[in-house]
Structure 1
C-alpha cells in the first residue's frame, strides 16, 4: 500500500475542509463515508494521505486495490483488515466465523454478502469502542466485487459508530465503483493560479514559456504538472533550452513513467515488472521471483532511487498506480510470460493455489488442460466465498485454455451460469451462445438455452425467450423428449408472462402433436394462462400438486427460479401465507448463495405477499431493495413488478402523485389496478369503474381476479352494479376454489354490495375476517361498507363499532383517503371526532428505520438480534430506540408492550 510522503496540497482547500469535517464527525460518533472520484493523477490519493496525516489518536486501516487481484474474492478485504485480524476473535461467533471464511482463514462457506457486510460493520463498531477508526481504500475501482459489495454495504449502514470510511475511485477509463446513497466528492483539475503555484514549488527553474505550456497541456492535473515538468528538465534541474516536440496530454502521463523505466538497467526493469505483475505488496515474494530471473535487492534499490517505488522488509508499493500500469503494459510479452512463470513457481503453499493458477494462466501460450483444471478449482473456491464475478472470469479463462471442445463448452456454460448469478445478463447471454456452439450433450445444450431464455424474460424480451426455447426443444425432441417438454413448458410460461394466451395454446398444441411426455403439464399451464377463470384456477392448482418432471436440465439456479415461480402461483391462488413462507425461504437461500441474478424475482413475490398480508412497511422495504437490485443488473421485468407494488402501496395511502409516478414504471395491468384503486379511494367512482372494467377485459383471468372486488365496489358506488355482476360471480367461484379465508370473506362482501341479503352476508364476512387475522386492508374495507350499510339502516350503535375498527385499521396502514371516508361515516352516526388519528399510538411520527427497530424491540429482540436482522450495529440500534421513545411517549423498552406493537 502507498505510504508516500505527504505534500502540501495546492488548490484543494474546499476538499480538505470536507474531509477534515468528516474525520471530525467520526471522532465524535457521527460515522460517515465518502467516495472521492476523478481521473488518474488528479489528487485522490493525496487527499487520502492528508486524511492519514491528520488521524492522530485514530486507528488507521489502509488498503490499495490492484488490478491483478480484481478476480480474487475478498482480496481487498484481506488487505484492509489484515492488521486487525486478531480482533475478529472478539466478535460473536457467527460474525467471526463469516469473516474468517471470507479472509481465507476459516474452513466453511462464507455465506451471503449481507452476512459478511454485517460482520465487517460489527468489527468496525467493536474497534471504534477503543478509538475512532479511519479506513482508507485507494483505487477502489480495482477492488474484487465481493469486497466492493461488503464495504459499501457496511458504509451505508454506519450510524453512531466512531468510524470514517474514505474511498477513491478513478473515472473514466476504469471499472465501475457503484456507490449509491454514499456521499461523493468529484475532483476537477486545478485552476490556473493553483497549477502555476504547484509548478513554482516543484519546478521553479522551468522557463516561463515552458511553464505556460505545461499548465496548458496538463489541464489542471497535478500528476501531469509534476511529471511533464520533470520531463523538461535535464540533469540537476537545468532546463532544456528548447521544447523540440509537443508535450504529451495528461492521459499520456503513463508514457513518461514508461520512458523512465526503459532508461533503467535490464535487471532493474525485470524486478519492477515482477512487482507490477505480483500485486500483493509482498517484498519477499517479489525478491524470490526476481532471483529466478537474475535480479536481486540491489536492483530493487535502483528502482527506488529512480522514484518509481518504495519498499520495506515486508511491504512494497509503487509511487503511483500508473507506474504499475506503465511497467506491466510496456513490457514485452515474452518478459511478462517469464515473470508470471517465476511468480507461479514461488507460490508453493496450499493457500497460494488460486494465485498460482492465475499466474500459470497468464504465462500460458496455448491450450493446457492442467492449467484449465487449476482455474476451475479456483472458480469453485471463489464460489464457496460468494465471489460470482470471480467465478465468471475463472471459468471463462479456463474455457479458453481447454483443448477438448465438449469440456470447453461445459466450462463456458458454468461461466454463463455464474454470470447470471452475479447479475451480469449481457455477459451471461454471450457466454451461453458460445457454450451452445461448443456443446454436444443435449442436457447441456438445453441448460444453455434455458439460461439465454430466462435472461431474455428478465429483460422483457419474451419473443426472444420463446424463440430460443422452441429451437432448443426441436433439436432434442428425438434424443431427449423429456427435455423438449420442459423447454416448451418454460416457453408457455414466457408467453403467459407476456400476456399472450393464444401463443401459449399454440405451444401446448405443438407439445401434444409431438406426443411428448409431460405434454399434459404444458397444456395445463396454457390453460392457466388464459380463458375460463375456473379452468385456469383448477389447472394451476393441479400443476402445484403434480410431481415435478426429472429432465436433467435443471440446475441450482433453475431450481430456485422454478420454486420462485411456484411461490408466485400461490399469490394467484390467494394463498398469500404460503407464498410469503416460500418466498422468504427462497430469499434467505439466494442470499446465502449470493445469487443476485435470481433474487429480484423472489423479492417480487415476497413484496407481493407482504402487501396482501397487510405488512405494508415490509412490502415497501422489500420493493425498494428489489427495485435497486433489478435496475442495477438490468432486469426490467422485475423492476416493473416492484413498481407495481409501490404503485399499489401509494394508492392505498391515497398518494396520487406517488401512484402516478410508480404506475408509469409498472406493467400495464399493475398500473391500471393501482390507478383504479386510487380513484376508488378518492371517491372518483366512475373513473375507477371505467379503468377497472377495461383491466378485467384485457387481462388474463388469474391476474385480473384480484381486482374484481375493487370493480364491484366501484360499480356499486357509481350506481351501476350491473356492470360488475359477472365479476362478482367469478370472484365468488374463485374464492371457493381458493378456499382462502380472506377471499371467502371478500366474496361475501361483494355479494352483499350487489344486494344479496346484505346484513347476513356482511356479518359473515366480518366474522371470517376476524378468524383469519390477516389482510387488514380488506378487513377494514369490509367493516367500512358494512358500517355504511348499518348507518343507512339506522343501526347507529352497531355501525359505530364497525366504523371505529375500520378507521383504526386504515390509520395503522396509512390509508389516508380510506380513513377519511371512515371518519366521515363515523361523524354521520353522531360520533364526535376531534382530530384525525386520535387513536394513534404515535408510530406515524417515527422514521421508517425507527419503526422497524421499535417493532422488533416490541417482540422482545435484543439490540444485537435486531442489528443482525436489519444489518446494523447494536450501537446504532440503541441510538434509534433512544430517538424513538419520546415520540411514542415511553421511556424504556419495557413500556413498548403497552402500545400493542408486538406481532
Structure 2
C-alpha cells in the first residue's frame, strides 16, 4: 500500500483544499476525483477526511451488490445522522425516512424529488452548525437514485458551508455522470515519485529490479506496490495492461489461500456490503469461521475494521468473485440468503436468492417483485426496473412474465431509459397469453413510444391490438383505436388520425364518434375545432373514466387538461393539470409528471402567471430530460421559449427555441419581434405556421395591421391580410383578444369601427382580470392608435397602464415599446423603468424567481417545493434581495408589481 505520505499529489491536494476552503466560507461546491484503478483516489480521500478535523464528515463507499437497491448509498452516508431527521420539517423527515427504508408500511411512497429536497434540507441544517464534507469513494457503484440526489444537492451548494467529494474509476466500472459537477483527473506518478514510493516500500529490491517495476507500473501507485511484492516472492516481470496485471496478481493471491479462507473471501465478495456479521454467519454454514480471516489479512486482501470486513481494494473483490467457480458462487449466494433473516434484509435476501437460482422459480420471482415494490415506495425507478426484469426471467407462467416485463418497462421509462423500456415491452408482447393482455401491453408500449415522439410506432401497436380484439371486445378495441387517433392528433399526423377514425367506423366501435370529433378538432376553422374539443370534453368520462390502470388514468386526465387549454378554458386547464401533478407526485407516477407539468405551465403562461409558468416549466423540463421524454421536452421548451421572448431574454430564447416544436419556436421568435416593434419580420415568421389559437391569431393580426409591407408583392400581401382576418373571425367574438385583433385590422378602413372595437376589448378585459399581459397589449395597441390619431391625452392613460402591466411581468421589450410611445405622446415616466422592470438588473436569476413567487404570497416552504430548494435557502435569497429592492419584509413585495 502507499505510505502515509501521498507522493506526487501536492497539486491534487491543493485542488481539494481550495474546495474545502471555499465551503468553509459559505461557497459550497462539489468535485469528482477520477482515475484508473489503483491511481490513489481512495488514499487521497482517506487522507483528506483524516486531516480535516474541523469538518463534520459523512462518508461511504459504493459497492456493486447494493447498486440495485434504491437509496442504499444515501442510507450509507446518512446512517450517522439518522437521529437528526426528527429536527427537519415533518414532510422532509417523513420523506427521508421512507426513502431510507425507515418509514411505516402505510406511509405514502417517497417521491424522488421530495427526497432530494429533504436531503438538501438536512445538508443545509448540518452545514449551518459546522462545515460539512460528504465523501463518497467508488461513487460509480452507488445506486442511481442516490446519485441523482447527490447530483441535485451538489448543484445547489452555492450558499451552503458544505463540500461533496466523490471518486470514480475509469474503465471496468459503470460510467459516472453528474452534470454540473466538476471533474479532477488524478494523473499517473512521474518516475521520480514512483522511485520514491519504491524506496519507501521496497528498498530491499535491487536497483535494476526497481527500475523494471517503475517501467511496468506506468505510474500507478497500487501497481508499484503489487509488482514489487511479486518480485520479492520471485514472480517474473509483468506483461500486459496494468489493470489486468493487478487483477491477475490478486487472483493468484486468493488462489494461494487455504480452502476455508478462500471460501470466506468468496462469501465476502458475493456479499459486497462488508457486514461482518452477515458474512461470518453465511461462512460458518459452509465450514469457515473467524479464525480463517487471519490468512486473508496476512495476505493483505481483507481487513477487519470495527464491525466491517473490507477488501483492501475493489479489484481484490472483483478478482475473488471472478475466480470462484459457478458452483461456488451459487453456494455462497444461497448461504448469504439463508443468513439474511431480518425483515429489513428482505430485499438483499431476494437478490441473493435470484443469484443462486439457475431455472424458473415462482417463489424467488415473487420475492423479487416484492423487492421491486419496496423500491417503488422508496422512489427508485431503476431498481424497480431491474427487479421486475429479473423476476420476469424467473417467472413460471407466460401471464406473470408478461405482467412483470411491462412493469419493468414502465419503470425503465420513468428512469429515463427509453430504449431499455421499449425493448422490455416488446419482449412482453411476445409472451402475451391472450389478446386482451396484448391490448394492455400495447397501451403501455404506445405511451412509451409517444413519449419518445414515435407516433408511427404507437399507432401501429394500438391498431394491431385493436384488430386482435375487435370481434370479441368492441369496447376495448374502441379505446385502443381512439388512443391511436389521439396519438396521431398529438403528433399532428392528420392522415393517421382520419385512418383511425375510419377503422372505428368500419368495425362499428363505440368510440367511432369520438374519434371523428378528434379529427374535427385537428382541422377546419378555429370555431369548428373549439366545438369539437368541447364535445370531446363531454365524452371524457366515457373515454377515460373506466381505466383501472392508475398511470393510464392520469394520462387521460392530462389529455382532458390539454383539451380545456386548446378550447380556451385556461383556468379549468390549470385546475385539472394541477390535480394531475399532485396525484402523480403522491402516487410516484413519474412518467405522467413531465407531460402534466407541460400542460400546467402552458395554462399558467396563458393566464399571465409568468413566474409560476417559468418555475413549473423549468421543473418539468428537468424531469422530461431525466426521463428522456422527447415530446414533453419539446412542449416545455416551447413554454420557456415563449417566456424568454416576452422577457426579451435572447440567450434563453436561443437555448430553448431549437428544442421546441417548430410552431412554438416560430411564435416565440415572432413574439420577440412584436415586442420590439419589428412587425414586418413578425409577419414573415407567422405566415409559415398556423394561427389556430387566440394567441396566434392575435399575433398575426397585430403584425399585419402594423407592418409596413414595403416591397411586398401586393397579391401576396392581400392573401396574408385575408388569412389574418379569417383567423380573428374564427375566435370567440366576445373575447378581449379577438376584439383587439378585429380593432387592429379595422384601423385601415374605419376609425370609428376601430375605436369601438378597442373600447369593447377593454370592457371584455375587465371581466378577465387574470389576463395581465393581454390587457397590457390591448392598452398599448389602443394607446398607439390614439397617439397616431393625435388624441395624446387619451393615449397617455392607456400607455401608462401598458407600461405598468408589462413591467409587472418583466416583459422588457414590450415595456420599452410602451415607454417609447408614451414619450412620443409628450410624457415621460421619471426615473426610467419602474422598480419591477429594474428587478431584472438588480437581482440574480435565482433571486428573481424566488422574489417573484414570494410576491404572490407563497411561503418559503412552498417556494422551496416549486424550485427544489430548502426553506432555509429560500430565506437566504430573500434576505439578500430585500436590500436591493429597498424593502424590509416580504409583505412589501406585492406593492412592487413583481408577482407573475
Query: Shared fold by TM > 0.5?
Result: yes
Instruction: Give CA-to-partner distance per residue, 1:139-193, whole Å, 9 cap, x none.
Output: 2221122222222222322343332222222234433433122233233333444
CA distance in 1, matches of 2:198, 2:776: 74
Alpha carbons of structure 1 residues 210 and 561: separation in structure 2 relative to 1, 3 Å: farther
For the pair 1:681 / 2:680, whether they are aligned, the reply is: no
Match of 2:304 among 311, 323, 327: 311
Alignment match, 1:47:
44
CA distance in 2, matches of 1:15, 1:686: 58
Alignment match, 1:166:
165
CA distance in 1, matches of 2:645, 2:837: 23
Q: Is the 8 A contact 1:6 1:53 kept in 2?
A: no
CA distance in 2, matches of 1:494, 1:864: 38
CA distance in 2, matches of 1:778, 1:833: 22
In the TM superposition, what is the alpha-carbon distance from 1:207 to its structure 2 partner? 4.6
For the pair 1:372 / 2:365, whether they are aligned, the reply is: yes
Match of 1:456 among 449, 453, 458: 449
* 787-796 vs 193-202, greater mean Cα deviation: 193-202
Q: Is the 8 A contact 1:601 1:638 kept in 2?
A: yes
SS at match of 1:61: strand
Alpha carbons of structure 1 residues 734 and 214: separation in structure 2 relative to 1, 3 Å: farther
For the pair 1:783 / 2:779, whether they are aligned, the reply is: yes
Alignment match, 1:34:
31
Instruction: Give CA-to-partner distance per residue, 1:394-439, whole Å, 9 cap, x none.
Output: 1111111112222212211221122222222111111111111111
Instruction: Give CA-to-partner distance per residue, 1:59-102, whole Å, 9 cap, x none.
Output: 22111111101111221122111122112222222222222222
Alpha carbons of structure 1 residues 708 and 867: separation in structure 2 relative to 1, 3 Å: closer
SS at match of 2:232: coil
SS at match of 1:60: strand
For the pair 1:493 / 2:486, whether they are aligned, the reply is: yes
| Pairs within 5 Å for 1:558-569 | 558-569=552-563
SS at match of 2:731: helix
Instruction: Give CA-to-partner distance per residue, 1:329-364, whole Å, 9 cap, x none.
Output: 221111111111111111112222211111111111
In the TM superposition, what is the alpha-carbon distance from 1:252 to its structure 2 partner? 4.2
Alignment match, 2:462:
469
In the TM superposition, what is the alpha-carbon distance from 1:625 to its structure 2 partner? 3.5
SS at match of 1:531: coil
In the TM superposition, what is the alpha-carbon distance from 1:463 to its structure 2 partner? 1.7
SS at match of 1:168: strand
In the TM superposition, what is the alpha-carbon distance from 1:271 to its structure 2 partner? 0.8
For the pair 1:401 / 2:394, whether they are aligned, the reply is: yes
Match of 2:248 among 247, 252, 255: 255
Q: Is the 8 A contact 1:579 1:609 kept in 2?
A: yes
| Pairs within 5 Å for 1:871-886 | 871-886=868-883
Alignment match, 1:482:
475
Alignment match, 1:416:
409
Alignment match, 1:356:
349
SS at match of 1:734: coil
Alignment match, 1:536:
529
SS at match of 2:164: strand
Match of 2:82 among 75, 85, 104: 85
For the pair 1:772 / 2:762, whether they are aligned, the reply is: no
Instruction: Give CA-to-partner distance per residue, 1:816-850, whole Å, 9 cap, x none.
Output: 33223212211121113455414547422111221
Alpha carbons of structure 1 residues 745 and 255: separation in structure 2 relative to 1, 3 Å: farther
Alignment match, 1:718:
707
In the TM superposition, what is the alpha-carbon distance from 1:248 to its structure 2 partner? 4.3
SS at match of 1:106: coil
Q: Is the 8 A contact 2:807 2:834 kept in 1?
A: no
Match of 1:288 among 269, 272, 281: 281
Q: Is the 8 A contact 1:735 1:747 kept in 2?
A: no
Match of 2:833 among 837, 851, 865: 837
In the TM superposition, what is the alpha-carbon distance from 1:745 to its structure 2 partner? 5.2
Match of 2:57 among 57, 60, 75: 60
In the TM superposition, what is the alpha-carbon distance from 1:608 to its structure 2 partner? 1.7
CA distance in 2, matches of 1:774, 1:859: 13
Alpha carbons of structure 1 residues 214 and 565: separation in structure 2 relative to 1, 3 Å: farther
In the TM superposition, what is the alpha-carbon distance from 1:642 to its structure 2 partner? 2.7
Alignment match, 2:604:
610
CA distance in 2, matches of 1:561, 1:540: 17
SS at match of 2:257: coil
Alpha carbons of structure 1 residues 625 and 67: separation in structure 2 relative to 1, 3 Å: same
Q: Is the 8 A contact 1:396 1:415 kept in 2?
A: yes
Alignment match, 2:228:
229
Alignment match, 1:328:
321
CA distance in 2, matches of 1:865, 1:566: 26
Alignment match, 1:150:
149
Alpha carbons of structure 1 residues 294 and 754: separation in structure 2 relative to 1, 3 Å: farther
In the TM superposition, what is the alpha-carbon distance from 1:450 to its structure 2 partner? 2.0
Alpha carbons of structure 1 residues 734 and 548: separation in structure 2 relative to 1, 3 Å: farther
Alignment match, 1:637:
631
What root-mean-square deviation, in Å, do the aligned CA atoms of Structure 1 and Structure 2 show? 2.6
| Pairs within 5 Å for 1:737-816 | 743-744=737-738, 746-747=740-741, 749-750=743-744, 752-753=746-747, 755=749, 757-816=753-812
Q: Is the 8 A contact 2:545 2:553 kept in 1?
A: no
Q: Is the 8 A contact 1:376 1:398 kept in 2?
A: yes
SS at match of 1:280: coil
TM-score, normalised on structure 1?
0.92
In the TM superposition, what is the alpha-carbon distance from 1:486 to its structure 2 partner? 1.7
Alignment match, 1:140:
139
CA distance in 1, matches of 2:194, 2:598: 53
CA distance in 2, matches of 1:870, 1:490: 34
In the TM superposition, what is the alpha-carbon distance from 1:12 to its structure 2 partner? 2.0
Q: Is the 8 A contact 2:391 2:404 kept in 1?
A: yes
CA distance in 2, matches of 1:870, 1:644: 20
* 657-666 vs 644-653, greater mean Cα deviation: 657-666
Match of 1:270 among 256, 263, 267: 263
Q: Is the 8 A contact 2:248 2:319 kept in 1?
A: yes
Alignment match, 1:126:
125
| Pairs within 5 Å for 1:841-856 | 842-844=838-840, 845-856=842-853
For the pair 1:576 / 2:570, whether they are aligned, the reply is: yes
In the TM superposition, what is the alpha-carbon distance from 1:229 to its structure 2 partner? 3.1
Q: Is the 8 A contact 2:611 2:852 kept in 1?
A: no
CA distance in 2, matches of 1:902, 1:501: 40
Alignment match, 1:198:
197
Matched residues, number: 886
CA distance in 2, matches of 1:900, 1:639: 31
Match of 1:390 among 373, 383, 388: 383
In the TM superposition, what is the alpha-carbon distance from 1:6 to its structure 2 partner? 7.3
In the TM superposition, what is the alpha-carbon distance from 1:451 to its structure 2 partner? 2.2
For the pair 1:187 / 2:186, whether they are aligned, the reply is: yes
CA distance in 1, matches of 2:648, 2:123: 42
Alignment match, 1:381:
374
CA distance in 1, matches of 2:92, 2:649: 41
Alpha carbons of structure 1 residues 132 and 502: separation in structure 2 relative to 1, 3 Å: same
SS at match of 1:735: coil
Deviating 4+ runs (over 6 angstroms): 550-553
Alpha carbons of structure 1 residues 450 and 860: separation in structure 2 relative to 1, 3 Å: closer
CA distance in 2, matches of 1:552, 1:231: 71
Q: Is the 8 A contact 1:604 1:641 kept in 2?
A: yes
SS at match of 2:166: strand
In the TM superposition, what is the alpha-carbon distance from 1:306 to its structure 2 partner? 1.2
Alpha carbons of structure 1 residues 705 and 773: separation in structure 2 relative to 1, 3 Å: closer
Instruction: Give CA-to-partner distance per residue, 1:181-220, whole Å, 9 cap, x none.
Output: 2233233333444334333333334455544444444443
